[in-house]
Structure 1
Amino acid sequence: MRMEIEPIYLSFLVFTAGFVSLGVELTASRLLDPWFGNSILVWAVLIALILLYLSIGYWLGGRMADRWPDTRILLILTGIAAFLVGLIPLIARPILQLTTDVFQEFDIAILVGSFAAVLLLFAGPVILLGMVSPFVIRLMMQRADDAGRVAGNIYALSTLGSILGVFIPVLLLIPNIGARRTFLALGLTLLGLSALGLMRIARKPALWLALAWVLLLICYLLPSGPIHPESNTVYEQESLYNYIRVVSNGPEMLLKLNEGAGVHSVYRPDMLLADGIWDAFLIAPYFAPAPTRPGDVHNMLIIGLAGGTIARLTTLAYGPIPIDGVELDPAIIETGQHYFDMTEANLRPIARDGRYFLNHDAGKYDIIIIDAYRPPYIPFHLTTVEFFAEVAAHLTPNGVVAINVGRTTDDFSLVNALAATMERAFPAVFILDEPTFGAGLGNSLVIASHHFSLLDDFYANTENLSEPILAEVARRYHPYARVAPDEGIVLTDDKAPIEEIVHGIVMRYLVDLDDR
């Protein structure tokens, strides 16, 4: 029973298995995103385990094919793999939901355990998918002289399918139907092909597979609810780049992304100040040499527009000055316009990478704000000496740049690294700390002036501000302005260990919590 089905069918089965295996890997990253983020560490673990599972599949597939070179067995295996692919989000979701409380309690043991449990869900289907290529090679090989040609053709087809499995989920499926239904689509694709073959050679297994999928489809048809099932979730969306969530907090709207570890924007209809780090950006221009007055701020660039909180506050404080707001994710811009009243006539939202925009389309600005965060990380390419040299080239002579940096109450590792890096591109660098009031976690602005200035210039520029909003922010933050210390590692395009620095901060924070 070695050649029950035409070779072209087996070739297409190999192509489909390659497509589904990479599709599962890419969709798995989006499944994990809302809870564990999208850091290089998460990707490294995910890729390593997928490769491990495929390796096990190659080994098992070769041994099984030599012992039972039967097309029916192969198709039963791919049918089971298809079912397990569709099952992944249904089983993973309860485990992932457990991490919502874990993040708040900082129970690292349960957090790691949840992560491991979810990753183990991919073992079954990926191992089975890995078995397909060696199995088909054994079935299609007529004589030893054909071995090289057959193996080469099979692995070429598998790789071509994997290439398609990279682009179809990312560009088509996930943005339009979400990660959950993408797993379903991948599983159904493989099931359809497996069932087609089984119906020709073994009707009974095909019927069992069909019954299993009917039950699975019933589960999918049941209302799924929001990914984060909280009563205050107003809106959620899976975009090409992010899991987006709008949360109501009394009269406020909050924008949260991915695992929800930070608030990216806040909106209240009567808001003059946001009562957060966004307010501090309003007084960043006054770190320029004295005298600098509100009328000297003629335009602004924001890299990391999010829901437009900074743009709204700036317009209230400085009037309708031109603002270019760059945001990588077009869906976040749409969310800001719909839920955060991001409709200022002076704001030009631009859906683009911040550094790309700076290199290709940006003009000169009196202030450049960088608030691009994927908590707990800043994109590394927006933190380097080379990047800040590009920023300096787009500042007016009296211009200022300010970047938002996360920290704990007493761990300024990342803040100091950014300050040390900016000192390579600017003559004067300052830090404006947000008071934490015992909260443990906080933010600081690292601010650099295009021309040399002193901390006394900041005090002189803010001493007699007549605009009430600016005067209030200056009063609030005066005690927390300081000159950047001469310490911290310098970040470059070649070496910017942002993740390593942040992981150190997080681990020290968790250890400190356990010691309390």
Structure 2
Amino acid sequence: MAGRASSSRGARSASHRPPTRARPGTIGTLPDGPVPVATGTVELRRDPDDPNGVTLVLNGVPSSHLDLQDPTRLDFEYMQQMAAVVDRVAPPGEPLRVVHLGAAGCTMARYVQATRPGSHQLAIELDSTLAELVRTWFGLPRSPLLRIRTGDARAELSRLATASADVVIRDVFAGSVTPRHVTTREFTAEVARVLVPGGVYLANCADRPPLDVARSEAATVGAVFREVVAMAEPAQLRGRRYGNVVLVGTERTDLLDAPGLERAVRSLPAPTRLLRSDELRAFVGAAGARRDPPEPDASGPS
């Protein structure tokens, strides 16, 4: 099941929006109350003081937030952090090829299409019913601009062509936990295979103190990609509460060290700290990369 754990406080993201935007498609009729889907139930929660805002809640977990009229508004802090990186992958307005592992409400897909019209995107969502509903509800771009494929994120990733994406975004959850099989070095190597040379991998890692998962995931991304940063609110990085850490991996040496990214992160509505180089190594500490379990010995007794 794909979903999101978030530290959203409803802060509006405006400071990093590029000037090029496309209007959203036609919004469908939104339901009141829970709706059954293949993996449980989905509910769209509305705030009377925010008529355009919708929070998609999957099995009780806030999974996506969307502004029905403004796809560039991102309320979840980790999505604002991801957008700050995506905005710098290519010149403003230039289309990208993006793979979203975990679709839910397709918030990031809407953002990319609004800021980079003509982008070709693939969203992979485990829940086939949810995928059909969000297309109806949120006026998502149609194929080939946005294809939604149902299936397991890792299995579907393995079927994609080598060097076929500029960006891969992993936002896969089962409840509040990312399934282990999409956190390992072997999985991350598959992401690197699908990316073009210099492509960018963004992973949403939700963790709680003492951040053992986030540290091992950072070590895992660093075992595959030359350049790695971690972004999160300072309290989260100090291990004070449950929240989200965004990990970024790439072979590009000009993207993550650029002063523009540091400025963009500092200007986000919620305080955000960016860890790289020595600070990131100190954060990882002795944590090792995550690995797939060993294959069972099929040879049998001799």
- Confirm or deny a common fold (TM above 0.5): yes
Q: CA deviation at 1:284?
A: 2.3
1:451-504 CA distance string (max 9 Å, x none) = 4457432x24676xxxxxxx6x77317952221334323211117xxxxxxxxx
Q: Tell me how far apart the structure 1 counterparts of residues 116 and 235 of structure 2 sit (CA, whole Å).
A: 27
Pairing 1:44-59 to 2, within 5 Å after superposition = none
1:392-434 CA distance string (max 9 Å, x none) = 00111120100101134x6332211111111111111111114
Change (3 A) 1:433 1:295: same
Sequence identity (%): 24
2:189 aligned residue: 389
2:267 aligned residue: 475
1:306 aligned residue: 104
What SS does structure 2 have at the residue aligned with 1:456? coil
Pairing 1:358-369 to 2, within 5 Å after superposition = 358-362=157-161, 364-369=164-169
Q: CA deviation at 1:268?
A: 2.3
Q: Tell me how far apart the structure 1 counterparts of residues 109 and 131 of structure 2 sit (CA, whole Å).
A: 12
Q: Tell me how far apart the structure 1 counterparts of residues 256 and 38 of structure 2 sit (CA, whole Å).
A: 43
Ranges in structure 2 where 5+ consecutive residues have no aligned partner = 2-30, 295-302
Look up the equivalent residue of 1:482 and give its one-letter code: L
Q: CA deviation at 1:239?
A: 3.1
Q: Is the 8 A contact 2:232 2:245 kept in 1?
A: yes
Look up the equivalent residue of 1:336 and give its one-letter code: V
Q: Is the 8 A contact 1:359 1:390 kept in 2?
A: yes
* Structure showing greater Rg: 1
Look up the equivalent residue of 1:280 and give its one-letter code: Q
Q: Is the 8 A contact 2:95 2:118 kept in 1?
A: no
1:489 aligned residue: 288
How many residues get paired?
Answer: 250
Look up the equivalent residue of 1:475 and give its one-letter code: S
1:319 aligned residue: 117
Q: Is the 8 A contact 1:279 1:310 kept in 2?
A: no
Pairing 1:328-367 to 2, within 5 Å after superposition = 328-343=126-141, 346-362=145-161, 364-367=164-167
Pairing 1:359-508 to 2, within 5 Å after superposition = 359-362=158-161, 364-408=164-208, 411-434=210-233, 440-452=241-253, 455-457=256-258, 459-460=259-260, 475-476=267-268, 479-483=272-276, 484-485=280-281, 486-487=284-285, 488-494=287-293
Change (3 A) 1:274 1:295: closer
Q: Tell me how far apart the structure 1 counterparts of residues 126 and 151 of structure 2 sit (CA, whole Å).
A: 5
Q: CA deviation at 1:344?
A: 5.1
**1:237 and 2:29 are equivalent in the alignment:** no
What SS does structure 2 have at the residue aligned with 1:405? strand
Pairing 1:207-226 to 2, within 5 Å after superposition = none
Q: CA deviation at 1:236?
A: 2.3
1:100-157 CA distance string (max 9 Å, x none) = xxxxxxxxxxxxxxxxxxxxxxxxxxxxxxxxxxxxxxxxxxxxxxxxxxxxxxxxxx
Look up the equivalent residue of 1:255 and give its one-letter code: L
Q: Is the 8 A contact 2:206 2:245 kept in 1?
A: yes
Change (3 A) 1:444 1:236: same
Q: CA deviation at 1:335?
A: 2.3
Look up the equivalent residue of 1:370 and give its one-letter code: R
More displaced 10-residue stretch of structure 1: 392-401 or 359-368: 359-368
Q: Is the 8 A contact 2:97 2:121 kept in 1?
A: yes
1:329-359 CA distance string (max 9 Å, x none) = 1111122123333345621111121111111
Change (3 A) 1:423 1:320: same
Look up the equivalent residue of 1:481 and give its one-letter code: L
Change (3 A) 1:286 1:450: farther
1:264 to 63, 73, 85: 63
Q: CA deviation at 1:370?
A: 0.3
Look up the equivalent residue of 1:245 and give its one-letter code: E
